[in-house]
Amino acid sequence: MRGDTDEAIFLKDYAPTPYLVEKVELDVLFKPDRTRVRALLTLVPRDTTEPGTPLELDGDALTLDSIAVDGLPLALTAYKETEAGLTLIEPPHKRFVLETNVWLEPENNTELMGLYRSSGTWCTQCEPEGFRRITYYLDRPDVLAPFKVKMTADRQLAPVLLSNGNLVDQGQKDDGMHFAVWEDPHPKPAYLFAMVAGDLGSIHDSFTTMSGRDVALGIYCEHGKEDRCAYAMDSLKRSMAWDEKRFGREYDLDIFNVVAVSDFNFGAMENKGLNIFNDKLVFAQPETATDADYASIESVIGHEYFHNWSGNRVTCRDWFQLCLKEGLTVYRDQEFSMDERSRPVNRIEDVRQLRQIQFPEDGGPLAHPARPDNYREINNFYTATVYEKGAEIVRMLATLLGEADFRKGLDLYFERHDGDATTIEAFIAAFEEATGSDLQQFQQWYLQAGTPELKVTDRYDPETQTYVLELTQSTPPTPGQSEKQPMVLPIKFGLIGPNGSEMNWDTVSGGEVRDDMIVMNTPSLALTFTGIPNRPVPSLLRGFSAPVKLKTPLEQDDELFLARHDSDPFNRWQALQDVATRLMTEAVAGTDWSDADLDGIASALEETLASKDLDPAFKANALALPAEQTIARAIGQDIDPARIHAVRDALISGIVSRLAETLEKLYLTNDSRLSYSPDFKQAGRRAMKNAALSLLVAGGTAHGPRLAREQYERAQNMTDRIAALTPIVTAWTPDAQALLGDFRTMYTADPLVLDKWLALNAAAPDEGVIGRIKAILADPSFPRNNPNRLRALMGTFAMRNPTQFARADGAGFRLVSEFVADVDTRNPQVAARVLTAFRVWKMYEPTRRAAAENALKSLKESGDLSRNTAEILDRTLAG
Ligand code: BES
Ligand code: ZN
């Protein structure tokens, strides 16, 4: 197999390159059929480099045309073209200029790494190892150099020529060609290099930084779509202002450009001064984008912009350190969105995402530390663990240190490492030194995989008025790590008295408690609180202050009490989720809920909905019952997804039969006719109203399907239209087929909206879904190479259709594994990503487990898999 020969790369083998790159000058000629890249690299051996040390340059899919050192063509014996690139056998032992000329075929680049064409536009993606597909280079993040690039192309075909940094020259040639020269004064690793050449429209604006410099802002896109870029521009300006205000970080070039392209493997990329975006994260208009789309645009625009400091000014020494930039930047973008919207509601949504995606990863065969110590294919490590757990680690650091000290540490980190390629250890050291704290044990969070479990029991003694909380932590074994160390857990908490208000205590002993935070760093802990007049209800892990699985001592009544009274909104939401999850897991195990159980949860929900001091967006989250996958995880083994689906439906019906009137009233009184605005307040009302509508349909009420159909038909914005269609399709009501057809016809011209149609089709749990997907894939007009289309259809099916993906007859598993084998021949990254859906396969009951294993094994036998897919497959089978 393609992927089989590759050995793992280990962090412990890190060594700096024997040669440094002092300067990079590129001359790129874009022609319709192929592109020529002439590179002049100024190289110099390190002081410690022995004369005669070979120079090994990375290269992939390049056709070498000529090669010279200091202007003299190299003899064939002086260099070697290898599988991985090019070796200069005995380079000069002094500063020298290496010139290479290579040809590329961006037309045929379906992997979308390096230089490729998207709808005619030439664009690049270099992170993590794409630059070696543009020219021979030391393609690793610890090699930093200033870049200058001359781009030449046909004036008609590519009037727009963009790269990093500042435009220093441009001009016309007499053969219909023109050129632009871009120079980036900031030394950077090659992964931040970018070029765009094409016929694009654009919008422009400007931002004045805190020191008074004007930055010209531009967003480039397909002609005719300029008016869809306004929200992205607005988000960009707010991001720039926020990073100055919150973290004192100012932008450092005179230009900041964003380009939207329609073929892109990821969400977006932080290239210095020239971010490239998947167009779905730029384009927004009320008729075509949902509130959730607007929120994603804001957060991803923020994320990529914030990388300018956390990633670009301070970058990673090697790819093992990826979460140094990604975890920190996700933390920063989460904080940005929280400040722009709602702290508690955003927190709920971030945690839901963490549990839905990162927890299963961390508890399955693909578990790895936030900083891994080996990999076969680095592209497989852009994971929820690196990103989302990485962000949680930074968040815990902020919680433990407090806002002021956290800021001191971060300032020192940016100041000390500006212009560096650095490590997690250096990051932690900056916080230790700035604040005088010892963070050595805390650092385990980066090194140890697995989600810690925190078990809590309690005792109250009315005689002595003392209350005891006993806490125990343990982390389950993960692949390659059987022994685990205790972690440092910041546990925000409160004790709630019978009247619903916070209780104080006289003394607390047995462990470290700072105001409202327990700092646990041992395997177990028993805290004794004195001066407690009544048995309290503990509210633990407020705001989800540590990414653990919490087992509380609470019974249902206590949870319902917290749902009503907790001053921490996160835990109010959590308590409702816990009650629902318990009812469902018990029912799956054979113990049905009682009428009293349903009355209890229904009335807690009713009170939540009636509350004057909770946001509508919070209420929407309260109405969303735990997902099927969440229940599966709570059960943990011998999963039968069909049974979980049925139980969840039954619980919804039970609750809705008690709340139908309330929900209908909530729906009707909040169905606003205001003209659309994506702001948090209006979006929150829509979310709440649509959550009610969704329950009215899912709960099988008489009016639900009609209300949904009417909303679908008269909707003035995409949020309302899709929110009406989704429950109809999920419940597969008699309207489903016709409305799906209508939606498809209405939006044939808009690929991003058609993605929503693909996803709706793929997520529906009806028996017909596999047939529908096969028909879509067989349609010759289906764009088989576009990542957004592929992910909308097959990513959604594999990840968000738990019953049909895991059909007992194995048809869902086979559909996905055959798709992976096919797509892998063209785009290994998309293929490997979809394949990760199998990471839960060992949790299924025996029939499904065997069916999943069969599908995986036949994929293994199907032949020549990419390194990406081979690695995921082997780890999934082994784990
Ligand atoms: N640096 C990444 C882009 C990237 C992802 C490069 C994977 C190579 C491989 C960028 O900053 C990023 O993290 N993008 C995310 C979105 C972000 C908001 C989490 C993405 O593309 O999914
Ligand atoms: Zn990022």
Q: Is the pLDDT of residue 634 over 70?
A: yes
Question: Ligand 1 pocket, 279 CB below 6 A?
Answer: no
Cβ 166 vs Cβ 255: under 8 Å: yes
pLDDT in tens, 164-223: 999 999 999 999 999 999 999 999 999 999 999 999 999 999 999 999 999 999 999 999
For residue 328, report the distance from its CA to the centre of ligand 2, in Å.
Answer: 9
Cβ 467 vs Cβ 460: under 8 Å: yes
Question: Ligand 1 pocket, 401 CB below 6 A?
Answer: no
Question: Ligand 1 pocket, 201 CB below 6 A?
Answer: no
pLDDT of 7: 87
**278 CA closest ligand 1 atom index:** 21
Question: Ligand 1 pocket, 269 CB below 6 A?
Answer: yes
Residue 655 in tokens: 């609750």
Q: For a substitution probing ligand 1, which of 304, 309, 315 has the most ligand atoms within 8 Å of its CB?
A: 304
**299 CA closest ligand 1 atom index:** 18
Residue 676 in tokens: 């659309």
pLDDT of 4: 52
Q: Is the pLDDT of residue 484 over 90?
A: yes
pLDDT of 6: 67
Question: Ligand 1 pocket, 300 CB below 6 A?
Answer: yes
Q: Find out whether the peptide bond into 802 is cis, omega within 30 degrees of 0.
A: no
- CA nearest ligand 1 atom 2, residue: 269
pLDDT of 2: 62
Give the helix ranges, DSSP H, for 566-717: 569-588, 595-610, 616-623, 628-635, 641-670, 680-698, 704-714
Q: Which ligand is nearest to the CA of 127?
A: 1
pLDDT > 90: percent of the chain: 98
User: Length of the chain in residues, anyone?
Assistant: 879
Q: For a substitution probing ligand 1, which of 112, 269, 836 has the most ligand atoms within 8 Å of its CB?
A: 269
> How confident is residue 155, by pLDDT bands cut at 50, 70 and 90?
very high
DSSP code for 317: S
Half-sphere exposure of 602 (CA within 13 A, CB side): 22
pLDDT > 70: percent of the chain: 99
Largest CA distance in the chain: 97
Burial of 227 (0-12, 13-18, 19+ CB in 10 A): exposed
Question: Ligand 1 pocket, 387 CB below 6 A?
Answer: yes
pLDDT in tens, 124-147: 999 999 999 999 999 999 999 999
**387 CA closest ligand 1 atom index:** 19
User: What is the b/e burial string over 643-657, where b = at least 16 CB atoms within 10 angstroms of the residue's CB?
Assistant: ebbebbbebbbbbbe
622: three-class secondary structure by DSSP = helix
Distance CA 841, CA 839 (A): 6
For residue 251, report the distance from its CA to the centre of ligand 2, in Å.
Answer: 17
Distance CA 855, CA 806 (A): 11
pLDDT of 132: 98
Mean pLDDT of the chain: 97
Distance CA 752, CA 280 (A): 6
Which positions are annotated as active-site residues?
Answer: 304
Cβ 313 vs Cβ 188: under 8 Å: no
Half-sphere exposure of 853 (CA within 13 A, CB side): 12
Hunting for tokens 């625009």 — which residue is that? 301
Q: For a substitution probing ligand 1, which of 131, 266, 357 has the most ligand atoms within 8 Å of its CB?
A: 266
Q: Is the pLDDT of residue 412 over 50?
A: yes
Q: What is the pTM of this model?
A: 0.98
Question: Ligand 1 pocket, 319 CB below 6 A?
Answer: no
Closest CA relative to residue 39, chosen from 117, 115, 142, 119: 115
Cβ 265 vs Cβ 787: under 8 Å: yes
Distance CA 258, CA 264 (A): 14
- CA nearest ligand 1 atom 15, residue: 267
pLDDT of 674: 87
Question: Ligand 1 pocket, 128 CB below 6 A?
Answer: yes
332: three-class secondary structure by DSSP = helix
For residue 11, report the distance from its CA to the centre of ligand 2, in Å.
Answer: 21
Q: For a substitution probing ligand 1, which of 382, 388, 394 has the most ligand atoms within 8 Å of its CB?
A: 382
For residue 303, report the distance from its CA to the centre of ligand 2, in Å.
Answer: 6
Which residues, other chains included, contact 241 with Cβ-Cβ below 8 Å and sequence gap of 6+? 207
In angstroms, what CA-CA distances link 764 with 79, 706, 748, 782, 796? 57, 19, 21, 20, 10
Question: Ligand 1 pocket, 479 CB below 6 A?
Answer: no
pLDDT in tens, 545-567: 999 999 998 999 999 999 999 99
Q: Is the pLDDT of residue 815 over 60?
A: yes
Mean pLDDT value of segment 804-825: 98
For residue 300, report the distance from its CA to the centre of ligand 2, in Å.
Answer: 8
For residue 830, report the distance from its CA to the centre of ligand 1, in Å.
Answer: 14
Cβ 641 vs Cβ 628: under 8 Å: yes
pLDDT in tens, 308-367: 999 999 999 999 999 999 999 999 999 999 999 999 999 999 999 999 999 999 999 999
Helix (H) or strand (E) holding 401: helix 390-401
pLDDT of 5: 55
Q: Is the pLDDT of residue 851 over 50?
A: yes
> How confident is residue 1, by pLDDT bands cut at 50, 70 and 90?
very low
Question: Ligand 1 pocket, 127 CB below 6 A?
Answer: yes
Which residues, other chains included, contact 273 with Cβ-Cβ below 8 Å and sequence gap of 6+? 164, 165, 184, 253, 255, 256, 257
Which residues, other chains included, contact 228 with Cβ-Cβ below 8 Å and sequence gap of 6+? 221, 282, 283, 284, 285, 288
- CA nearest ligand 1 atom 6, residue: 127
For residue 451, report the distance from its CA to the centre of ligand 1, in Å.
Answer: 23
pLDDT in tens, 223-233: 999 999 999 99
Question: Ligand 1 pocket, 30 CB below 6 A?
Answer: no
Question: Ligand 1 pocket, 295 CB below 6 A?
Answer: no
**382 CA closest ligand 1 atom index:** 7
**379 CA closest ligand 1 atom index:** 9
338: three-class secondary structure by DSSP = helix
Distance CA 312, CA 419 (A): 8
Torsions phi, psi for 557 (to 5 deg): -65, -40
Distance CA 101, CA 88 (A): 15
pLDDT in tens, 521-533: 999 999 999 999 9
Question: Ligand 1 pocket, 375 CB below 6 A?
Answer: no
- CA nearest ligand 1 atom 8, residue: 127
> How confident is residue 879, by pLDDT bands cut at 50, 70 and 90?
confident
